[in-house]
Structure 1
């Protein structure tokens, strides 16, 4: 490979490292071209699976500021550069490796943190970001409904208390405020008709 081609290859790998939230290194020895195509398809659009040269990848990782990959860059290496959900990519790699034991996950980096092959397997066992967000939203929704109930309870209790007090006051008011009976007009007339004694 001529020097300009190597520079271009390193630049491409640097860009892939910088644009990815995760990079998972694998050994693909023993996989056929059709199996590699199937693997690329199973990883989806959020992951680019590239066969790389170890020396160029070391140089590119150093230029991109990625550390902890040197010991993984041994033997035939391919890197899954993940721009989407790292959990989904790890699940796809795990599932493909179960069906095709020739694929070996070596390790990688996720959001700048170096991860072993076991860490990648644990990552694959997690639920996807969308599922976790849906569960969080459900929990928050339930908590909000409880909070609304708690805040509304004192208000409704105060409203019921005010209504009970108003009803009680109305029930007591007619008896307390009843006007004294007025003298009938015939009695008044009789009183006025009596002559005064002088």
Structure 2
């Protein structure tokens, strides 16, 4: 690669690192072109998957302010999934593809500027989707609110029962007097 081409590639990778909220580094050795195409298609909604040169990626990561990609992660043939959508769904997609195609190896990544190991990416993949977590949080808040409504309504309903009992007792007393 000529120097201007390398500079352009570094600038493009730097922009991708800055514009994405996560990046997952993989090794694709042993995968066919058709398998890579299938992987790209499965990630297309939330990420772009690109084969990268390790030295240019290391330079671009430093330029983007990411210290999480070390030399060990950038060894061998590398490809990066630049995540622009939900990182959990991308991690799940990569994990599921790696289960079906053992040649794909997840090496690590970066999430919001923090370095991730391969185990961290697996833990991220084991999380439930954002929508499910939001639904659970909303359900928990609804439960807490209904408990609060019950607690606030309890003294009023208790007072109403006491007043009704006193009224019934008084009506009973006047009926006996007559």
Gaps spanning 5+ residues in structure 2: where? none
Distance 2:41 2:152 in 1: 51
Deviations 1:141-180 (A, max 9, x none): 122112211211111111222333345556667999x9xx
2:7 corresponds to 1:2: no
SS in 2 for 1:25: strand
Tell me the residue number matched to 1:187.
none
Partner of 2:52: 52
Equivalent position SS for 2:49: strand
Q: Does the 8 A contact of 2:68 with 2:113 survive in 1? A: no
Q: Which has the higher contact order (CA 8 A, sep 6+)?
A: 2
What SS does the aligned partner of 2:102 have? Answer: coil
Q: CA deviation at 1:42?
A: 1.2
**Matched residue, 1:124:** 125
Any residues of structure 2 matched to 1:62-141 within 5 Å, and which? 62-71=62-71, 72-141=73-142
Q: Structure 1 residue runs of 4+, over 3 Å off?
A: 163-176
State the aligned residue count.
177
Q: Distance in 2 between matches of 1:81 and 1:58?
A: 15
**Structure of larger gyration radius:** 1
Backbone CA RMSD of aligned residues: 2.0
